[in-house]
Structure 1
Amino acid sequence: MFLAFSLLVMLFLLAACSNNEKTGKGEGEAFTYTFFNASSTGKDINTADTKIGKMFEKETGVNFDIEHIVGDSNQKIGTMIASGEYPELLNAQNATNDVIDAGGFVPLNDLIEEHAPNLRKLYDPIWEKMKQEDGNIYILPSGVSNGYIKPPNIGQSAFFIKREALKEQGYPHPKTVDEYFEIIEKYAKAHPTTNGADTIPYTLLQYDWHVGQLFDPPAFLSGEQEGIIVDNETQEVSVYHNKDITKRWLGKLNEINKKGLLDKEAFTQNFDEYLAKISSGRVVGWFGPRWESGTALDTLEQDDDPYNDFMGFPIVFEEGIKDQYLNPESFVTSPGMGLTTGTAEEDQVRIIKYLDHMAKIDSQKLITWGIEGETYEVNDDGRFYRTQEQIDLTADKKFRDEFGFTALGWYWPIMGGKFDDGNSVDPVVQPEVAQLAYDEVDKEFLKAYNIETFTDLFTEPEPAPWFPFWDAAIETGSEAQLYDQQSRDLIKRSYPDIILADPAKFDAEWNKFKKQFDKLPYKAYEKVMQDSVNREVELMK
């Protein structure tokens, strides 16, 4: 009888241990769950191995093993869908809708309403936008806006010019596309070679998905926001690739090509070759988002000659056009993270409470700014700032990883814009931080153009609740999707012919392209975008 009782006790203990392994809970230990992030590569880590994560663990009793994508993310997510086995928390990136359709995500509406008041408040501006057609919320996006704040530096698109060209010509302030290329032409003629090789007056990139440098300028030059044209008064939507503003832009490129100012390899270079040119100091001008050329520009910033770096301008076709280069306040709802059906109900509650703890304002400031006195300071007016030592410290990758800025930053429920006290959520955007981070050459150009930050040259954007357009859902196999792909293929094939044509044949090449473009189902695409704009405007009322 004693032996039977002992066996019963052992079986009970084994069952208890098995249950503890399943939930990730040991006696006196935290619950450990898995967060698979298909939106990012990086080193797998447990959040409790970071300073912020350890603090959150003590306050919530929860930590996460963060796993990042290796290889094809769609294949990995496809395996999850096929097997029905998911991590507790999942960012499925491009396959998000596939997981939703497969029933892999848990509806979050009731969980948030019942257990997460801070999370509910964080997502209040886009609560209705987050709902799927069935009325359920499955995904928690990162960066939900809490008011617009103008960035101090250009991270998005602009027309860039080499600083040496600006300094040499007395710091001219180009406003129109003609003035922009006049500066480039004057400098290129005075400096036919750079570092022992031909100077490249103007380059552009058309390779793989990198097509914005050729596609986007007509909108920006005419005072529109990127992607598609929306009339601010009527909200009427239209594509612009077949319109006169595009012909005008291509005509300018045709003109500079005739003058020998366009990179001869513009349409044949790959991305690495393009970056190598930017980092070589040979390029005088280019258009595009600064982040796209980021690695090359980082190299230039470490160069012995700081004048090889670039300065961005909000160039338009003609004076009087109001530039709209800066991104407006954004209300993105996808992609993001969701709780999966691989999560037990009691664990769903623990995880949503953990996310709710993250959504507290004090937690948000900890995630983005860190600890007062260690990674930032507060002045008498309540403004956050960093000393030079703190700027250097928080820029160090090893420190960011160990502190938790990397592991617990983007991809989690993080707000964007500014806190209610007026401080920027992102320290890099805080003017007090940006101004201290400027070096002597930065300050030289700021003084020359009588500005305090580099975006002072740019107009604050008009509100656009429909921005960004890539957030609009285009049905697979639809005419709209067909247009999206066919237009890209046609443009990539036709624009080089138009730009490189003999000027006498420019109109003929443009008309040839326009005739082919007009056969595409662009009206179906416009309708999808119009429906999206109408819906977003209505939801944000």
Structure 2
Amino acid sequence: MFRGKTKLLLVGLITMLLFVTACSNKEKASSEKDGDVFTYTFFNASSTGKDVNTADTKIGKMFEEATGVNFDIEHIVGDSNQKIGTMIASGEYPELLNAQNATNDVIDAGGFLPLNDLIEEHAPNLRKLYDPIWEKMKNEDGNIYILPSGVSNGYVKPPNIDQNAFFIRRDALKELGYPHPKTVDEYFEIIEEYSKKHPTLNGAKTIPYTLLQYDWHVGQLFDPPAFLAGEQEGIMVDDETLEVSVHHNKDITKKWLEKLNEINAKGLFDQESFTQNYDEYLAKISSGRVVGFFGPRWESGTALDTLEQDDDPYNDFMGFPIVFEEGIKDQYLNPESFVTSPGMGMTTGTSEEDQVRIIKFLDHIAKIDSQKLITWGIEGETYEVNEEGRFYRTEEQIALTTKEEFRDEFGFKALGWYWPIMSGTFNDGNAVDPNNQPEVAELAYDEVDKEFLDAYKIETFTDLFTEPDPAPWFPFWDAVIETGSEAQLYDQQSRDLIKRSYPDIILADPADFDDEWNKFKKEFEKLPVEAYEKVLEDSVKREVELMK
């Protein structure tokens, strides 16, 4: 008897719950229809990280209240090209998309919407933000599909390295008397000497030198020869003629690979470099077992941020502008750049009403007050302003704003890079990035930082680096390479060949090095190299002309 009543009661409860849920969904849909809150998706193939809704952060909630819009931010897991390829094949995209290396593929597939008219009609702040590069942003068909991050408003030399450098574990430098390596030979001599003294670090086998070659993360293997030779950003551009050439089959690349082959023979090269994924690479860096690596600091930033908060500050790293031989002028620091990320685009399938809401949200972000909120935060909470109008942070605010948990909750990470934001300085003279503000950098240095600054007789860590020469063409990857063209064929085939051949060259017996190199060079020179160089050269010349 009671069992039957219970069954009827459950049916009644389920019916009531379904009714309440339906009403709730109906009310939510009605609320969205009335324009209260609209949730869209931003898929970011340029970054791994924790998926989050912007309204769950302090900044994002403020933006939602101002615009009625928030975003579910989704990050790449696995192979970004495969994920974007699936989107292209299905024709189903999130409303906002950063497609990283596959950006041109999405454009060619018709996946991105032209933004010119939307911006002109609905986004005056966005239009002003991009005014210096408005023509530069246009595709060959005259349309603007992508909104990049880091629109320059003047050059600021950063006090700390966030770009490419050869990094060495601080403990190695301290133990060996603070040596100052300038050449690639000196760099690896330090790594070898320290590694031999310390076969284990932090309870596990020492990793003298590692690199990352995974998905689009290929710069650690591809770019060093150019930097070591004093070139900018991984390609060779003649300053006078603007002639462009790739270096993968040149002597400078042979010289670099020969050095890696040499250190591999000595047992100093990480044998897992060519098989590890991004997360595994970061785990190695953060484990405190790695002695040296090359790359931009931001690529290893998650791991290095962890080390900065480690109980042992000597587990951290210091970067150096290493070159092949003394006398070569290093060019590791990025020059003033007007496009510094692949950027985001709005995708097809987004209704006209949603297009307007989204572009107005981005326009709100482009306001100067919003830009300062995104980078500096809230006055009195995350920064202060002195009598001269200079922004600064107290020691407590510096400690607070460097905590990952706080940055997540506040929205510095969710709404910072990859959105339409400035770089350089605001018109009031304050640095856009607090880390580039001298008042912040000097106060942020702890006792161990000061120990190394004093040892190398410098005031900031970039004092070791030469200021960059002007390069109005920078960055070169902004070039448009047509799908199916010979240049695009070279781009893909060369990557595949390099990923396949470099491990054989590096891991070969030294007696076989020349044979492996010549085999690679022979295959490389069958590729349509000249077609690719022509596209880059045309792009470089066009960029230089647009920036006059």
For 1:384, give the aligned amino acid: F
Scaled by the length of structure 1, the TM-score of the pair is 0.84
SS in 2 for 1:161: strand
Q: Which moved more, 1:72-81 or 1:121-130?
A: 72-81
What RMSD in Å do the two structures reach over aligned CA positions? 3.3
Report if aligned partners of 2:307, 2:313 keep a CA contact under 8 Å in 1.
Answer: yes
Is 2:396 aligned against 1:386?
A: no
**Contact kept in structure 2, 1:118 and 1:357, CA below 8 Å:** yes
Distance 1:153 1:443 in 2: 13
Q: Give the match for residue 304 of structure 1.
A: 311
Q: 1:335 aligns with which of 343, 364, 369?
A: 343
| Cα distance per residue 1:118-176 (max 9 Å; x no partner) | 22211011101222333233433332221222222222221112212211222111111
Equivalence for 1:432: 439
Structure 2 residue 162 is the aligned partner of structure 1 residue 152: no
Shift, 1:378, TM fit: 1.3
Task: Pick the aligned partner of 2:298 from 291, 308, 323.
Answer: 291
Residue-by-residue CA offset, 1:317-355 (whole Å, 9 max, x unaligned): 11111111122222227431337563336x655554443
Q: Against the structure 1 CA distance between its residues 133 and 453, is the aligned structure 2 distance closer, same or farther, given a 3 Å change threshold?
A: same
- Distance change (3 Å), C-alpha of 1:183 and 1:92: closer
| Whole-angstrom distance in 1 between the partners of 2:58 and 2:316 | 36
Distance in 2, Cα, partners of 1:146 & 1:101: 31
Matches within 5 A, 1:133-212: 133-195=140-202, 198-212=205-219
C-alpha distance in 2 between matches for 1:482 and 1:493: 16
Residue in 2 aligned with 1:62?
68
Offset of residue 102 of structure 1: 6.2
Write the distance in 2 (CA, Å) between the matches of 1:499 and 1:142: 36
Aligned to 1:216: 223
Residue 226 of structure 1 corresponds to 233
Paired residues for 1:342-491 under 5 Å: 342-344=350-352, 349=356, 351-491=358-498
Alpha carbons of structure 1 residues 100 and 277: separation in structure 2 relative to 1, 3 Å? closer
Among 68, 91, 97, the alignment partner of 1:91 is: 97
Give the Cα separation in 2 of the matches to 1:171 and 1:355: 47
Q: Which moved more, 1:161-170 or 1:238-247?
A: 161-170
**What is the aligned-residue identity percentage?**
76
Aligned partner of 2:399: which letter?
A: D
The amino acid that maps onto 2:143 is: N
**Match of residue 24 from structure 1:** 32
3-state SS of 1:141 partner: coil
Q: Report the Cα distance in structure 2 between the residues aligned to 1:390 and 1:80, rounded to whole angstroms.
A: 47
C-alpha distance 64-242 of structure 1, shift in aligned 2 (>3 A)? same
Range 163-172 or range 208-217, more displaced = 208-217
Which is worse superposed, 328-337 or 383-392?
328-337
Residue 123 of structure 1 pairs with residue 123 of structure 2: no
Q: 2:279 & 2:408 partners in 1: Cα distance? A: 28
Rounded Cα–Cα distance in structure 1 between residues aligned with 2:520 and 2:240: 31
Q: Distance in 2 between matches of 1:194 and 1:21?
A: 57
Separation of aligned partners in 2, 1:293 and 1:316: 21
Q: Find 1:247's aligned residue among 224, 230, 254.
A: 254
Preserved contact between residue 46 and residue 64 of structure 1 (Cα < 8 Å): yes
Mapped to 1, the partners of 2:212 and 2:485 lie a distance apart of: 29
Q: Which amino acid aligns with 1:479?
A: E
Give the SS at the match of 1:24: helix
The structural deviation recorded for 1:240 is 0.5
Larger mean CA deviation between 63-72 and 364-373 belongs to 63-72
Contact 1:383 1:423 in 2 (8 A): yes
- SS state of the match for residue 91, structure 2? helix
Which residue, out of 317, 326, 330, partners 1:319? Answer: 326
Following the alignment from structure 2 to structure 1, what is the Cα–Cα distance between the partners of residues 125 and 233? 33
1-structure distance, mates of 2:387, 2:420 = 30
User: 1:419, CA displacement in angstroms?
Assistant: 0.9
Amino acid at match of 1:212: G
**CA pair 103-431 structure 1, distance change in 2 beyond 3 A:** same
Q: Which residue, out of 32, 37, 44, partners 2:43? A: 37
Distance 1:96 1:353 in 2: 23
The 3-state SS of whatever aligns with 2:471 is coil
CA change 1:210–1:335 in 2 (3 A) is closer
Letter in 2 for 1:125: P
Secondary structure of the residue that 1:36 maps to in structure 2?
A: strand
One-letter amino acid of the structure 1 residue matched with residue 486 of structure 2: E
5+ long unaligned stretches in structure 1: 1-17
- Provide, for residues 394-443 of structure 1, a one-character-per-residue CA deviation record: whole Å limited to 9, x for no partner: 33455444544344333432212211222111223323223322222111
- The code of the aligned residue for 1:45 comes to N
Cα distance change of structure 1 residues 427 and 55 upon mapping to structure 2, 3 Å threshold: same
Structure 2 contact 187–322 (Cα < 8 Å) conserved: yes
- Asked whether the 8 Å contact 2:244–2:537 carries over to 1, the reply is yes
Answer yes or no: is 1:81 the counterpart of 2:87. Answer: no
Q: Quick one: distance in 1 between partners of 2:279 and 2:361?
A: 42
Counterpart amino acid of 2:350? G
Change (3 A) 1:114 1:20: farther
Distance 1:241 1:398, change over 3 A: closer
Q: What is aligned with 2:520?
A: 513
The answer to whether the Cα contact below 8 Å between 1:106 and 1:341 also exists between their aligned partners in 2 is no
Is 1:534 paired with 2:544?
Answer: no
Q: Which residue of 2 aligns with 1:3?
A: none
AA matched with 1:355 = L
Deviation for aligned residue 1:65: 4.3
User: Which amino acid is 1:62 matched to?
Assistant: G
AA partner of residue 421 (structure 1): D
